[in-house]
């Protein structure tokens, strides 16, 4: 499908076309704020924002170097979150292809919820792995300590869902910025780990200034990947026309 943001203008067009490299952007799977189509579908919006929130939470709690996975009970709950995301995604995909749902009629609130729970889970799993690969002496701390803490982390996510469902137009441009930053943040972390492994830079950083190079390379790779896929999508669709 051609990106619907080809017909947009200004900042919305640039962001929408760029993010077409990570999302299908189907209008009926997306939120509209003040009548404007948001650049990520409900599921992608939830996934990237949920993951970014999880990372910001760990940082604000003083766990920026946390390298331990959550305890077993939390891991089980995160596994359930990811399973729900997968089941909801399969159900939605079958409904999209056939017009009939496997389990229930999908909707954007469920897609957003599944995405946010999945994103939160990914952040709790990926962040410790990132710190373990990055730091010479990573902190023996967990990104999430227990089920009570995990439950508290869900409250801001629920609040965001309510605001998106309420169609609060003033959220449009903050959401555009948050979408771009969240996508780049998560991809940069993953790509930085790949860079460190390939160049054998694991466990070298002692100070934050030593993190600049692997993170910069990870960011460059992320921009190239997303932009390249967006460009390829545009070129393929242009040939079909």
Q: Is residue 190 over pLDDT 90?
A: yes
- The pLDDT, as a whole number, for residue 241 is 55
d(CA 107, CA 88): 10
Q: Is residue 45 over pLDDT 90?
A: yes
d(CA 118, CA 86): 9
Reading the block at residue 30, the tokens are 């997306």
- The pLDDT, as a whole number, for residue 218 is 94
- The pLDDT, as a whole number, for residue 155 is 87
- The pLDDT, as a whole number, for residue 126 is 93
Query: Angle, to 10 degrees, between the axis of helix 212-240 and the axis of helix 10-19?
Result: 90
Contact 186, 40 (CB under 8 A): no
Q: Across the chain, where does the E strand assignment appear?
A: 32-33, 36-37, 66-68, 139-142
d(CA 174, CA 87): 30
Report the chain's mean pLDDT, rounded to a whole number: 88
Bridge-based pairing state of the strands 66-68 and 32-33: unpaired
d(CA 216, CA 29): 33
Residue 2 binned pLDDT confidence (cut-offs 50, 70, 90): low
Q: Is residue 211 over pLDDT 80?
A: yes
- Predicted TM-score (pTM) of the model is 0.91
- The pLDDT, as a whole number, for residue 210 is 85
Contact 145, 75 (CB under 8 A): no
For residue 20, what is the DSSP state?
A: T
Residue 82 binned pLDDT confidence (cut-offs 50, 70, 90): very high
Strand partners, 135: 205
Residue 1 binned pLDDT confidence (cut-offs 50, 70, 90): low
Helix (H, G, I), strand (E, B) or coil at 205: strand
Q: How far is CA 130 from the centre of its chain?
A: 16
Residue 161 binned pLDDT confidence (cut-offs 50, 70, 90): confident
pLDDT 10s digits, 88-147: 999 998 988 888 878 888 999 999 999 999 999 999 999 999 999 999 888 888 989 899
Phi-psi region of 39 (alpha: psi -120 to 50; beta: other; left: phi over 0): alpha
Reading the block at residue 209, the tokens are 């200034």
Lowest-pLDDT choice from 5-9, 35-39, 53-57, 216-220: 5-9
- The pLDDT, as a whole number, for residue 123 is 93
């Amino acid at each position: 499908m051609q990106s619907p943001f080809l017909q947009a203008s200004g900042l919305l067009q640039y962001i929408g076309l760029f993010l077409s490299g990570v999302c299908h952007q189907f209008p009926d799977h997306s939120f509209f704020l003040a009548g404007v189509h948001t650049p990520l579908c409900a599921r992608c919006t939830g996934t990237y924002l949920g993951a970014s929130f999880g990372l910001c939470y760990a940082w604000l709690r003083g766990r920026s170097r946390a390298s331990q996975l959550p305890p077993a009970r939390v891991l089980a709950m995160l596994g359930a979150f990811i399973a729900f995301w997968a089941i909801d995604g399969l159900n939605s995909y079958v409904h999209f292809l056939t017009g009939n749902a496997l389990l229930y009629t999908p909707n954007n609130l469920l897609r957003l919820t599944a995405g946010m729970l999945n994103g939160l889970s990914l952040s709790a799993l990926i962040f410790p792995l990132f710190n373990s690969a990055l730091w010479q002496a990573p902190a023996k701390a967990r990104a999430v300590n227990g089920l009570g803490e995990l439950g508290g982390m869900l409250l801001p996510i629920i609040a965001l869902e309510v605001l998106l469902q309420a169609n609060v137009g003033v959220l449009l441009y903050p959401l555009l910025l948050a979408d771009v930053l969240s996508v780049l943040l998560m991809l940069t972390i993953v790509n930085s780990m790949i860079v460190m492994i390939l160049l054998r830079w694991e466990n070298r950083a002692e100070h934050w200034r030593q993190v600049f190079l692997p993170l910069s390379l990870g960011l460059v790779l992320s921009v190239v990947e997303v932009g390249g896929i967006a460009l390829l999508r545009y070129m393929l669709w242009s040939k079909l026309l």
